[in-house]
Structure 1
Amino acid sequence: MAKKMGIVALLLFGVYLLCMYWYIFHSGGGTVPKVFQGTVADPVMFMSEKELFLSGEYSKIRNFLFFIATPLEWLVYAFILLTGISRYFEKVATAQTKWKLLRNAGYLFLLSLLLYLVLFPLDYYRYYLSKSYGISTQAFSSWMRDGIIDFWVNFGTSLIVVSVIYWLIKKSEKRWWLYTWLLTIPFTIFVMFIQPVVIDPLYNDFYPLKNKELEAKILSIADQAHIPAEHVYEVNMAEKTNALNAYVTGIGSNSRIVLWDTTLNRLTDNEILFIMAHEMGHYVEKHIYFGIAGYLVLTLGGLWLTSRCMRWVIRRYGQVLKIKKMGDIASYPLFLLITSILLFASNPLTNYVSRYQETRADQYAISLTGDRESAVTAFQKLTISGLSEVNPQLLVKWFRYTHPPMLDRIDRVAEKEGQKKEAPVKEEQKKEQQKQ
């Protein structure tokens, strides 16, 4: 039975892979509609031929990798269960100590190490791809260091979460999902509070913005927006990437507005002020807190569905999957499999909400700065730096895009009194027109 289920899973994954390959590379989506051609939103008007070509190639490969990576993880979880590896790891950990926490730690370390090694080739290829297309500037040793930090941060977090969850399952197999959710509320808030000062500095160096003149301008518009900001932080990302970014992180007294140094190096002051006004829009409209609330609601539903699904799967296929009961930590890969499927399925909804919030933040930034030209050029430079696809295919937009596609963003911020702004003619085109 286990062999048959494994073969069926492989066949389904193979069919899915072929379908996604056709959709991403051969369905013909992602073109710029006629209504946008020749406007400032048209990438032909602000990207070189080489950048356009690289953007098309890079986006397709990344989109394809996204759609196969998560189902590949599902396949790995299923393999770990069907082959009895999870049960074996539990036995090894149990034989080493009588302390429950140490048993959990031993099991999770073995499982985490196996997942890290199995998925390493895909992670490395993503790094190699980003490096070869000029997005990443990170040395291999630095990339490995970040990967090892990720491993231990995730391991430590998982040990706490998994130990609590399986203790609750043993106490109440029917209501563990509710008790887990109740504990999720303070845990989520605590992690968001400490992230800017504890977790983020493990990866990069953060410091107050060095350009005090620019900081004064940013704090001035923050004052206009009634935001009690004292510092703007910059982070040294140039040694890792050519991409541009700025973001808001943390809550309460640890909330921060952060600028990548690549953004500071490549955008003008007015473009940076628009980006900062956008981030302030998130603060003013309390998107972080709405995000926490939405996350907690989805977590409640997700935990309830996970509980129901795990009980049904174990009751029907427990023997095949080598799972005796839900409270055994050997069932953890099944927990990961179900929650991963639910998270993937929820992407269209969560991304839709996120895109709406990003649109609202763009509108707020325009109302605060009134500088549409800087907004347009900032988005154009963001597109070039990340070789972004301005008009992705529908499934790509639904499942991947937490921000509106650049075609929509540029078009919206360029609009004035209902008119779409025409793009300036490129220098080469001007010469050609003069010849004619």
Structure 2
Amino acid sequence: MKKRFAVWTAGIYIVYALIMGLYLFWWADTGVPASYQGTAADPATFMTDRELQLSQEYSRYQSMMFFLGLPLEWVIYLGVMVLGISKVFKKFGERVSRFSWINIPIYVLLLSALTWIVTFPFDFIRRSLSINYGIGTQSFSGWMRDQMISFWISTLIMAVLITVLYVLIRRFEKRWWLYAWMLLVPFLIFMMYIQPVVIDPLYNDFSRLSNPQLEEKILDLAEQADIPADRVYEVDMSEKTNAMNAYVNGIGSNLRIVLWDTTLNKLNENEVLFIMAHEIGHYVKNHLFWMLAGSIAVTFVGMYLGYRLFHAAIRKWGDAWGVKRVTDIASLPALLLIFSLLSFIVSPIELTISRGAEKSADEYAIEMTGDTEAAVGSFQQLTVTALSDVHPPALVKYLRYGHPTMMERISMLESHQGSSNE
């Protein structure tokens, strides 16, 4: 069975990779539609021939890496079960300690380490592409430091969550999913609260915006939107990337308005103000709140479906995997596989909703600033700097893009300018 699993998995993966390669590099239509040609949304009007070529190459390679990495987590979890690795991890943890609050975190650490090792080459290739195409600027040592921080933070959080989860499964075998969801709700809110002040500073240095005049103008925009902010933060990202970004995150007293220094260096003042108006639009339209509410609702459904599928999977394949009951920690990869597949299934819907929210924030920003030239200029510069594909293949858009394409965003701004001039 183990040999057959390895052969079939390798064969299916190779066929899948070939199909995705053909789709991205030969079959997909990435040309500019006739209706957009010659407009401000046409990349030929604001990018050089070399930039256009690099944009197409970089976007395709990054999308290829995304699709190659997409099923990898599923293969790891299934392989750990089928090949008996899960039982080995479980026995090792039990040899260290008979207490669940010790042996379960050890199991999670081993599984996380294996997953990190297997996926590391894909992360490294993505980083290399970013460096080679002039997007990334971070040294390998700095990148590895961030990788290690991410690994230990995610492993620590996962160890706590999984330990609590299996305690619930063992005490409430038929209701664990409901109690787990009830505990997850305050956890999600807590993570949103501590993210800006505890987790983000582990990766970057935050300081007060170095341009006081610009800060005052941004805070004026925030005041118009009733955002309770008394300062704007600047984060030093130029040592890691040439890409640009800005955001408003956190809740309550921990809410922060943040600008990457690359955004400040590459955009003029009016363009920066438009970008910030867009981020403020998310706050005004309660997108953060609705995102949280949506996550809570989706998690409720996902936990219930996961519970049903998890119990069914253990009943059907548990003997072959050497797992007798759902209470056995060795069943964890099966549960993670189910949750990962459910997350993938719902992701196109989540991305569609996200694109709608981003369009709404764009509309708010252009109404707030009224500066179409700055708005279009900021998006064009974002496209050039990040070598973005303004018109990606449909599959890429619906599985990767949480924003409308740049072609759609710039076209909307041009339409706004046309309607304003009438």
The residue number in structure 1 matching 2:301 is 301
The residue number in structure 2 matching 1:94 is 94
Q: Distance in 2 between matches of 1:178 and 1:8?
A: 37
Q: Distance in 1 between matches of 2:109 and 2:220?
A: 49
CA contact (8 A) 1:373 1:414 kept: no
The residue number in structure 1 matching 2:8 is 8
The residue number in structure 1 matching 2:126 is 126
For normalisation by structure 1, the TM-score amounts to 0.94
Tell me the amino acid that sits aligned with residue 358 of structure 1: E
Query: Given the superposition, is the C-alpha separation of residues 82 and 411 from structure 1 closer, same or farther in structure 2, using an over 3 Å criterion?
Result: same
Q: Deviations over 1:229-268 (max 9, x none)?
A: 2111110000000000001111111111110000001100
The residue number in structure 2 matching 1:19 is 19
The residue number in structure 2 matching 1:427 is none
The residue number in structure 2 matching 1:189 is 189
CA contact (8 A) 2:105 2:160 kept: no
Q: Secondary structure at the match of 1:320?
A: helix
The residue number in structure 2 matching 1:373 is 373
Q: Distance in 2 between matches of 1:72 and 1:239?
A: 30
Tell me the amino acid that sits aligned with residue 27 of structure 1: W
Q: Secondary structure at the match of 2:247?
A: strand
CA contact (8 A) 1:170 1:327 kept: yes
Once the two structures are superposed, the pairs formed by residues 35-46 of structure 1 within 5 Å of their partners are 35-46=35-46
CA contact (8 A) 1:2 1:320 kept: no
* 1:160 partnered with 2:152: no
Q: Deviations over 1:114-157 (max 9, x none)?
A: 11111111111111111111100000000000000011101110
Displacement after TM superposition at 1:14 (Å): 2.6
Q: Deviations over 1:49-104 (max 9, x none)?
A: 11100100010111111112120221111111111111101001101112211111
Once the two structures are superposed, the pairs formed by residues 268-287 of structure 1 within 5 Å of their partners are 268-287=268-287
Once the two structures are superposed, the pairs formed by residues 12-411 of structure 1 within 5 Å of their partners are 12-411=12-411
Displacement after TM superposition at 1:15 (Å): 2.5
Q: Distance in 2 between matches of 1:190 and 1:176?
A: 21
Query: Given the superposition, is the C-alpha separation of residues 321 and 14 from structure 1 closer, same or farther in structure 2, using an over 3 Å criterion?
Result: farther
Moved more, 107-116 or 4-13: 4-13
Q: Secondary structure at the match of 1:318?
A: helix
Q: Distance in 2 between matches of 1:231 and 1:416?
A: 31
Q: Secondary structure at the match of 2:390?
A: coil
Q: Distance in 2 between matches of 1:226 and 1:7?
A: 59
Q: Distance in 2 between matches of 1:106 and 1:368?
A: 52
For normalisation by structure 2, the TM-score amounts to 0.97
Displacement after TM superposition at 1:417 (Å): 6.1
The residue number in structure 2 matching 1:425 is none
Q: Distance in 2 between matches of 1:322 and 1:398?
A: 38
CA contact (8 A) 1:359 1:409 kept: yes
Q: Distance in 2 between matches of 1:420 and 1:38?
A: 21
CA contact (8 A) 1:311 1:326 kept: yes
Q: Distance in 2 between matches of 1:214 and 1:93?
A: 55
Moved more, 107-116 or 350-359: 107-116
Q: Distance in 1 between matches of 2:416 and 2:89?
A: 63
Q: Distance in 1 between matches of 2:399 and 2:321?
A: 30
Q: Distance in 2 between matches of 1:18 and 1:147?
A: 29
Tell me the amino acid that sits aligned with residue 49 of structure 1: D
Moved more, 61-70 or 187-196: 61-70
Displacement after TM superposition at 1:419 (Å): 6.3
Structure 2: segments with no counterpart, 5+ residues: none
Displacement after TM superposition at 1:318 (Å): 1.0
Q: Secondary structure at the match of 1:415?
A: helix
Matched residues, percent identical?
A: 49
The residue number in structure 2 matching 1:431 is none
Q: Distance in 2 between matches of 1:331 and 1:197?
A: 35
Q: Distance in 2 between matches of 1:261 and 1:11?
A: 46
Q: Deviations over 1:3-42 (max 9, x none)?
A: 4344333333232222211111111322110010000000
Q: Deviations over 1:339-378 (max 9, x none)?
A: 1111111111000000000000000001110001000000
Displacement after TM superposition at 1:166 (Å): 0.6
Q: Distance in 2 between matches of 1:306 and 1:263?
A: 41
Displacement after TM superposition at 1:171 (Å): 1.0
Displacement after TM superposition at 1:314 (Å): 1.0
